[in-house]
Structure 1
């Protein structure tokens, strides 16, 4: 049953497939053979849809994992792959993965950015490839993996893939603030279900302050208490963090449309840090004077 847990963490709803059947969402349709388990889940706030599948509905001998994720926010494929590679905890398939170099490739008729990986899943060694590409103003990530020493059956599924005529929804929100609020709400939901922890910091939440154009991101030092910080240490951390946060913000804006629009509109980006007991430590603000 612990293998089923992998996909619970992926925020999916299991549907066992007892006959060959075509499954679809807004991004893709695919035929999955008898005996495979399919999980299909969307997040309307983020405009993200996940379809994943593995080969054994009884969890007895899983040797193939496949996954297709559609993102309704345009990103550069290389940025999407880099994010997946760097924030491993956001994807259990990548949590213990080592990655090769990124390269240009093709996948089911699409020109893609790709990277090969090797990972451990339930003490078994798996190899695979992740592919990212743009389609109709959206971004798609496809991942295939197989247990070392077995044959991958995923090609028979990939050959049935039909990509939808994806078009980004441009008329859902009455204002940009409403769009940001929806994006924040969906992101916070995802962070609760699949926490992102990197270098001792957990990304806790993001929200738009109600009466100001300020977007606040909260991070937690998961292993540190407020008593271990003094004023000099906090000031030094803030000085070290500012250029790092600024570089991350600028890189994100080059690859994620919503961040670029936020910067164009002159939003302030606030980064609040708390200790492991949720006690406030300090904040860093990046204003238009910093990033423009």
Structure 2
């Protein structure tokens, strides 16, 4: 099951599964001023896998997650809020910190990247009396998942603290589409020529091969998405290229797109191969295929 950072809704809470401050402690270690207890705690936090937290989040039916790394707590929280079109309230006093990290930060032992990002991030936050800027801007390494749960009573364990609540739907913003995975579809006029080009000339790594052995479709790794070269097209410049987006609830996306004035070329239909597909056109006529994978699909 895939958890994304775009699933927050008003009334949700977020849980941090590890304390923050590894970036601060690492800076202190470089300057040979880190207390032994802080150093041990930071190393333990950075070397503890997130597998248990991930399993607990799924078991608790969490529907969103992210990891707190280079952009710090405030940066990643801002990204989640923007992706979900909501506002979030941060209880700074409840944010768990590694032992000694707060004191080290107050003495200026803050990573350089945090200093550079602080002004931009702080401008996007509404300050409340008693807030502590240092705790909002520190970076971390492998600091665990921030997971969205339906209620405080169903939060995943282990969890250091519930410290963020999702306050309200941000004014004027529609909830975004939650994309679970994506790929670009290419229908080549000469499949073998295109397979050789993408595999042997361009040098893309093959993710999977499917279809008949004498004329297979290939799916290539493409950064955080995929490129699928399969079938046979007309050879036109744009008609044989499409964007493929997997969504969680295609009927909800259909209703949302219609309300937003999108051009739906074909309403959701279950295909013979078991997937539910809907076709949408962008303003230039590029076909976008929205896909839902049913639970009973093999």
Interval of TM-score (by shorter of Structure 1 and Structure 2): under 0.3
More strand by share: 1
Question: TM-score, structure 1 length as denominator?
Answer: 0.24
Normalised by the length of structure 2, the TM-score is: 0.24
Structure (1 or 2) with the larger CA radius of gyration = 2
